[in-house]
Structure 1
């Protein structure tokens, strides 16, 4: 019995201690809810221009400071300006001694005058050759028509064999004359380059633009001398490009198809009469048969490309052949 009362006693003591602690516990303080708040500081901003202030260290050099080197050695005769002095456009900075400068300038002027005379002589020669070529082509056409007439008469036993031979000889002689004249014209660019080459090499700058022809790229029957000369001009251009490259000289060739010039217009009129065709039909069906664009090239189109090749912007363009062919060689 005593053993059963001990656990009951412990339980009673524990329950009593629990009730005592619960009765004596402190009541929690009552907390009233408060709204939270933050401190805010405002700053007024106005639109304006600002630049950073940075400390710089070093040397300031004006962009107008330029170093000049005279193109020839000479003694200084006069120095009109001093360091830091403001100068106007055209005002001399250094005056060289006339005794040193005059002989060099005289030699340079003589070379320029000689070169100008050579170019003018070559221009006159070329113009004369062009005029003669037009007349010689007319003679060639006449010789061809004469041969056709004599052959027609000979077929009907109305002309002798000697007359037929004479007509053939006249046609052959006319072809030889035209070929020789075309060869002389084809040598014009080489003679010009030969005349100007020493000055270009001495100056370290030069531009050679040879006007060849589309027949420098393709061939046509009956134009052996002309086509050979134009193909040779491409070879001359490439050789000049290789030889002149180290001296700053470039060489390029233009290969245009038929350009609207008086010479071509006369050829169109002759072909129209010979074939009894309209002139536009001659252009489309005979001259530009293989071209994609059926029109003549305006001289300004050729001149625009020449202007580019002669400029400083084309310094890396050399040894090239530029086709202005209306799509002729696209086939």
Structure 2
């Protein structure tokens, strides 16, 4: 899947936030779409690569068709968020950095280059799935890059609920029509998966594809360390962590947080820098604190969203453990329900 996404407004207000190029550099764009019974497809179009300078927004088509892979996801408006909270006392948020990729293995700067997992990465994704197999998942968000999508899909093969993750295809009216599910029972046993370029890895510009050690030898260790670990200094023609955080956190707040407010349990499979950005928001870290944050590949992190606050519970251990420190009472009851269903 290319770094291309579309958004559809159906009888509600949706916001799209992004970073788009212009002659003056990278600018922010916010688009609100309002529709009642009328669908508008908006597509992010790239010119051959994943660099923010090549992104632009274009209206592809407008129609009254509302069909999709599953029923359109109803994102509660900010005005209704207080009512949505009453649906659930708490919800789970799972964050997973993708498993090892082929370029991780080769020690290359990857960024927005779309490379798959190694066998080790596949094993890491499966192990991550075992660690979250007793935690409810109602929606899945991934980046537009295959390594994050593979991680999410492989992890869900281990979930005890055995619901089927299905990608939402809204890139065209035909894609929506052809991927429509006509069985209500099948829909109930499905989990919608949304791929969003805003969750992509930080774009490393002219470093992408270069060996990290050779790059340090060429430009100097201090300069490369500055590009990799500073908050607001980008590599040549690339993104800084600050720029990555702007798009990732904006998407989380506008698209994912309302789902948690409505009572849905969410899993996000993404990348080191996009997840660091989200954790910066969740844990209220400073720009100095986030640059020292390290995330291992394939290790899930669990948060509980309760009373408008995010509470970090750590990394859930395997399903064979009797007492899981990361579990709340609500999650323990969910696990007990699974035990009763499958034993």
Question: If the TM-score is normalised by the length of the shorter chain, which range does it land in?
Answer: under 0.3
Identify which of structures 1 and 2 has the higher relative contact order when contacts are C-alpha pairs closer than 8 Å and 6+ apart.
2
The structure in which a higher percent of residues are helix is: 1
TM-score by length of 1: 0.25
The structure in which a higher percent of residues are strand is: 2
- Bigger Rg, which one: 1
